[in-house]
């Protein structure tokens, strides 16, 4: 086939009709489970002010320094949202959502944009679903967030994963830890990767996330943050782990888990799957108690997570999980001649009004070709309409699976189909 003149941008993917039912099924599951948790949906614009994203996520993070799609139009600096935590917090502050009372338990589904090098499970436009609980300091909020995340995978049937858990402490604990980390790494810094040397002064904790070979032996022996948590952070973390154990949610403590955004405080977590290959993170999240204030709101604690939907789809494929039923249409009108076509067109709405799906041939094909098309469309029934049928006022209803036929008046056909299919 000839190469098309226009294609999608690198790392941006069309979701074609064969795939979209899976996406709708997944979205449906997320909406249903969110309703059970009493989470409310929030939808924010695809574009945000660059300044919000830089401030919210952190100037030195990979996302901001390398991966944002940003452009200027007039005097405004736009960025395609790389994630939704900062935008949701922006909306919370902008609309004074604290006035709604209680903590805001928000969820979302939508596309995000990061200019990363595409590979399996890593795209430039990808989709996340996630939750942000804003206004609660209580470990219950952390655990509800994690429970919701786990519930989605559980309902779908993805069980093979690991929940990694850490506390990255509050600012006080973190300062003490960063100092200890610098003291430990300094004597060997010249043996470490260039990137780690760069991170050493401003953000030594990010060194723990390094994938560079030469850094690993030092990371392995580095001090762990747990030994530097102050009493408050320690107690919060203990309560989170206790609640998880009570709920029977397994987790692995990973003292070197640091996340890719600067806003995290205290609880941090990631869900990884061995079915995903190198991009193995299904989801990730944590607390961000300082972010609301950082972007202009009042001091308000918060916690959330986001999950990659393409990665969830890949896991489903690996595990042979079908999210959507095979597509089908209830009724296909097969017609012979113009009069029959007109009749079918005017009777389609009556079938649809009865709550059934119905279609007909749009291409003036032969009856044989229409029957073939009805099979391709996986039609459960065909209604066969020709000159004789129109004269008699009785039409052939064919059950395509059973290959059974009956000759009935149109009203009787609709009644029979409604009883059988609804
Ligand atoms: P994140 O870890 O950057 O966190 O992204 C969450 C998930 O999105 C990842 O675990 C992964 O499954 C998916 N993901 C990320 N980048 C890509 C990509 N390029 N292609 C495909 N999937 C990808 C956040 O975004 C935070 N906002 C999570 C959060 C919410 N923290 C607190 N609240």
pLDDT at 336: 96
Å from CA of 189 to ligand 1 middle: 30
Task: From 153, 300, 308, 314, give the residue whose CB has the most ligand 1 atoms within 8 Å, as the site to mutate.
Answer: 308
Closest approach atom of ligand 1 to CA 86? 27
Statement: residue 74 has pLDDT above 90: yes
> How distant, in Å, are the alpha carbons of 131, 148, 190, 287, 311 from that of 151?
13, 5, 46, 19, 16
Task: From 57, 86, 128, give the residue whose CB has the most ligand 1 atoms within 8 Å, as the site to mutate.
Answer: 128
DSSP string, 183-221: HHHGGGGGGS-HHHHHHHHH-GGGGGG---GGGHHHHHH
Contact 218, 185 (CB under 8 A): yes
Nearest CA, atom 14, ligand 1: 308
pLDDT at 206: 86
160 vs 125: which has the higher pLDDT:
125
Can you tell me the distance from the alpha carbon of 209 to that of 63, in angstroms, rounded to the nearest whole number? Answer: 14
Task: From 63, 127, 306, 307, give the residue whose CB has the most ligand 1 atoms within 8 Å, as the site to mutate.
Answer: 306
Beta strands of 265-385 (E only): which ranges?
Answer: 265-272, 281-287, 302-308, 329-335, 358-360, 379-385
pLDDT at 112: 98
Å from CA of 232 to ligand 1 middle: 28
Nearest CA, atom 33, ligand 1: 304
Nearest CA, atom 17, ligand 1: 122
Task: From 284, 307, 311, give the residue whose CB has the most ligand 1 atoms within 8 Å, as the site to mutate.
Answer: 284
Å from CA of 64 to ligand 1 middle: 14
Strand, helix or coil for residue 399:
strand
Runs of H (alpha helix) within 354-407 = 367-376, 387-392
Statement: residue 156 has pLDDT above 90: yes
Q: Which two tokens stand for residue 45?
A: 């614009």
Å from CA of 244 to ligand 1 middle: 22
pLDDT at 332: 98
* 398 closest CA partner among 415, 412, 411, 379: 379
Tokens 């940003």 belong to residue: 70
Burial 152-184 (b: 16+ CB within 10 A, else e): bbeebebeebbbbbbbbbbeebbebbbebbeee
* 369 closest CA partner among 380, 382, 358: 382
Which residues sit with their C-beta closer than 6 Å to ligand 1? 83, 85, 114, 116, 121-123, 126, 128, 130, 132, 260, 281-286, 288, 304-308, 310-311
Q: Which strand (E) or helix (H) includes residue 164?
A: strand 162-167
Tell me the percentage of the chain whose pLDDT exceeds 70.
100
What digits encode the pLDDT tens for the residues 375-394?
Answer: 999 999 999 999 999 999 99
Statement: residue 264 has pLDDT above 90: yes
Question: Per-residue pLDDT averaged across 239-259, rounded?
Answer: 95
Contact 107, 129 (CB under 8 A): yes
Nearest CA, atom 3, ligand 1: 260
Can you tell me the distance from the alpha carbon of 224 to that of 168, in angstroms, rounded to the nearest whole number? Answer: 10
- Which residues are CB-neighbours of 234 under 8 A, at least 6 positions away? 167, 226
Q: Which strand (E) or helix (H) includes residue 110?
A: strand 104-113
Strand, helix or coil for residue 13:
coil
Nearest CA, atom 31, ligand 1: 285
Whole-model pTM: value is: 0.94
Q: Write the DSSP symbol of residue 77.
A: E
């Amino acid at each position: 086939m000839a190469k098309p003149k226009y294609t999608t941008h690198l790392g941006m993917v069309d979701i074609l009709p064969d795939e979209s039912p899976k996406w709708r099924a997944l979205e449906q599951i997320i909406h249903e489970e969110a309703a059970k948790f009493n989470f409310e949906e929030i939808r924010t614009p695809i574009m945000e002010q660059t300044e919000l994203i830089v401030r919210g996520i952190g100037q030195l993070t990979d996302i901001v320094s390398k991966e944002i799609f940003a452009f200027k139009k007039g005097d405004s600096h736009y960025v395609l949202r790389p994630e939704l935590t900062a935008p949701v917090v922006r909306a919370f502050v902008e609309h004074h959502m604290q006035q709604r009372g209680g903590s805001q338990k928000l969820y979302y589904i939508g596309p995000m944009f990061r200019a990363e090098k595409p590979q399996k499970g890593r795209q430039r436009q990808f989709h996340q679903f996630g939750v942000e609980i804003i206004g609660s300091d209580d470990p219950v909020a952390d655990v509800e967030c994690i429970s919701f995340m786990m519930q989605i995978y559980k309902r779908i049937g993805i069980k093979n994963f690991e929940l990694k858990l850490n506390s990255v402490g509050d600012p006080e604990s973190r300062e003490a830890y960063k100092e200890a980390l610098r003291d430990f790494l300094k004597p060997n810094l010249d043996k470490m990767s260039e990137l780690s040397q760069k991170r050493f002064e401003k953000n030594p904790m990010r060194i723990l996330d390094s994938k560079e070979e030469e850094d690993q032996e030092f990371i392995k022996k580095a001090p762990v943050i747990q030994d530097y948590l102050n009493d408050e952070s320690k107690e919060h973390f203990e309560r989170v782990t206790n609640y998880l154990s009570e709920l029977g949610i397994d987790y692995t403590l990973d003292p070197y888990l640091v996340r890719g955004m600067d806003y995290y405080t205290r609880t941090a977590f990631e869900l990884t799957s061995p079915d995903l290959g190198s991009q193995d993170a299904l989801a990730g999240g944590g607390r961000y108690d300082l972010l609301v204030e950082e972007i202009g709101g009042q001091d308000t604690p918060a916690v959330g997570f986001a999950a990659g939907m393409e990665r969830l789809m890949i896991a489903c494929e690996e595990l042979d999980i079908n999210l959507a039923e095979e597509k089908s249409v209830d009724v296909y009108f097969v017609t012979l001649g113009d009069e029959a076509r007109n009749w079918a067109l005017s009777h389609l709405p009556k079938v649809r009004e009865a709550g059934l799906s119905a279609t007909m041939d749009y291409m003036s094909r032969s009856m044989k070709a229409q029957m073939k098309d009805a099979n391709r469309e996986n039609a459960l029934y065909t209604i066969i309409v020709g000159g004789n049928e129109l004269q008699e006022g009785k039409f052939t209803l064919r059950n395509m699976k059973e290959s059974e036929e009956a000759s009935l008046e149109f009203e009787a056909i609709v009644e029979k189909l409604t009883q059988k299919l609804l």
